[in-house]
Amino acid sequence: MGVPRGGRIVVVGGGPAAAAAAVALREIGHDGGLVIVGGEPRPPYSRPPLSKAFLSGGVEAGDLALGVADAELRTGVRAIRVDLDERRVHLADGERLPYDGLVLATGTRARRPRDPSVEVVSTIADAERVSARMARARSALVVGSGFLAYELASATHARGIETTLVIRPGALAARWGMLADVLTDRVRTAGIRLVESPGGAFGDGTAITADGRRWEADLVLAAIGAEPDVIAPEYAATGYLTDDRCRLRRTVVAAGDAATVRSPGGARRDRTWTNALAQGAAAARSLLDDDAPPYAPVPYAWTEACGTEVKIAGAPPLGVAPAVIDGDLSEGRALLQWPGGAAAVGYRIPVARLKTLAAAPAPATLEG
């Protein structure tokens, strides 16, 4: 039995996974109580533009709002604990919310350096503060080795700020194979200084790289990862570890960046926008319907560096040299394919077609 008709569903989290779950619950026919508890002071919004068009001046906070369906929205209050046996969510203001069904969509908490002068971009409030500091900065240091670091460096560069990006050698390639080289070439060619350092330190206006060199700037930005932001302590280390239908229990589901899905192919955590939306909807179905299908999406992610958008569907190209299906990488426009995946670099293609290409048989050569 799913959640009883007319029962009360509580959604904890104020991001896309929470919003998508609420919309799907109503679409599937949940006509009982529906409460969304979001820790930020504003309704759910879209995060990806924060490090891109928002910082470079193309969009404003009001453009980022997400629809949340017909739900009671409690913003600016965090859930601090859930009692899974008693079926109650405890809020920071002392209120307890009983539930018949629970969606946990609490996302991740960005790692924030101890030095408060080092900025992190995770929320609209962060992006607004950083944007104001960018208006006064002439130089910026960006520390980090994921897509987000490349995006932040691209944004400061686009605002005319002399930018240095400090990365760990090989870190991006370990996750994204040759696509890391594509991004690195792109930012270097655009005029961002790239410094490789296997370790080091950074703080107020400086970074010291492993070779002892000291780099100084008006603004230091860090993109050094994030941890699952969970309210059930037993999942603190792993994030919410669900079955293949996003369930923790019959009455509790989890979705988005805070969730890891166990399936016959292994545990899968996908911290992307598209996954948060799809998994929020899938988790909602699993809550209401005992016969919900397993959650098995084709992964999809995108990023952009200095004006070039890179879209990736399927598995990343690790240990393979992708085939160029169309275009030319040296000209910054190419469609790539490898067994189990495909990518579009500066190349316009609908996401659905890219996913189809990712699933199609591909010619590829082993690297090395």
Ligand X SMILES: Cc1cc2nc3c(=O)[nH]c(=O)nc-3n(C[C@H](O)[C@H](O)[C@H](O)COP(=O)(O)OP(=O)(O)OC[C@H]3O[C@@H](n4cnc5c(N)ncnc54)[C@H](O)[C@@H]3O)c2cc1C
Separation between Cα atoms, residue 232 and residue 240, nearest integer Å: 8
Q: Which of 2, 7, 13, 316 touches ligand X (CB under 6 A)?
A: 13
- Mark residues 237-256: x for contact with ligand X by CB under 6 A, - for none: -------------------x
Separation between Cα atoms, residue 21 and residue 345, nearest integer Å: 31
List the strands of the sheet with 219-222, edge to edge: 118-119, 219-222, 139-143, 162-167, 193-196
Q: How far is the CB of 211 from ligand X (least distance, A)?
A: 30
What contacts 24+ positions apart, CB below 8 Å, involve 296-302? 296/244, 296/263, 297/270, 298/355, 298/358, 298/359, 299/270, 299/272, 299/274, 299/275, 300/272, 300/274, 300/275, 300/351, 300/354, 300/355, 301/147, 301/272, 301/273, 301/274
Q: Which of 150, 215, 240, 273 touches ligand X (CB under 6 A)?
A: 273
**CB of 202 or CB of 300, closer to ligand X:** 300
> Residue 109 half-sphere exposure, CB side, CA atoms within 13 Å?
12
Residue 290 tokens read as: 């005992």
Asked if 222 contacts 229 with a C-beta cutoff of 8 angstroms, the reply is: no
Binding to ligand X by residue 108, rule CB under 6 A? yes
Q: How far is the CB of 35 from ligand X (least distance, A)?
A: 11
Binding to ligand X by residue 79, rule CB under 6 A? yes
Asked if 32 contacts 7 with a C-beta cutoff of 8 angstroms, the reply is: yes
Q: Among residue numbers 177 through 216, which ones bind ligand X (CB under 6 A)? A: none
Asked if 91 contacts 104 with a C-beta cutoff of 8 angstroms, the reply is: no
Binding to ligand X by residue 39, rule CB under 6 A? yes
Q: How far is the CB of 350 from ligand X (least distance, A)?
A: 16
Residue written as tokens 């919004």?
Answer: 45
Burial class of 191 by CB neighbour count within 10 A (0 to 12, 13 to 18, 19+) = exposed
**CB of 200 or CB of 239, closer to ligand X:** 239
Binding to ligand X by residue 155, rule CB under 6 A? no
Q: Which of 10, 102, 141, 148 touches ligand X (CB under 6 A)?
A: 148
Residue 230 tokens read as: 């969970």
DSSP label at residue 48: G
Taking CB under 6 A as the binding criterion, the range among 61-69, 99-107, 194-202, 310-318 that sits at the site for ligand X is: 99-107
Binding to ligand X by residue 150, rule CB under 6 A? no
For residue 12, what are the β-bridge partners?
Answer: 37, 104
Q: How far is the CB of 281 from ligand X (least distance, A)?
A: 12
Binding to ligand X by residue 64, rule CB under 6 A? no
Q: Which of 253, 301, 335, 354 touches ligand X (CB under 6 A)?
A: 301
Q: How far is the CB of 358 from ligand X (least distance, A)?
A: 15
**CB of 155 or CB of 334, closer to ligand X:** 155
Q: Which of 12, 102, 306, 312 touches ligand X (CB under 6 A)?
A: 12
Residue 38 tokens read as: 């979001």
Run of H or E residues at 155: helix 147-158
Taking CB under 6 A as the binding criterion, the range among 201-209, 271-279, 317-325, 327-335 that sits at the site for ligand X is: 271-279
Binding to ligand X by residue 156, rule CB under 6 A? no
# residues contacting ligand X (CB under 6 A)? 37
Length of the chain, please?
368
Q: How far is the CB of 170 from ligand X (least distance, A)?
A: 22
Binding site for ligand X (CB under 6 A): 12-18, 37-40, 47-48, 50-51, 78-79, 105-108, 121-122, 148, 229, 231, 256-258, 271-274, 276, 301-303
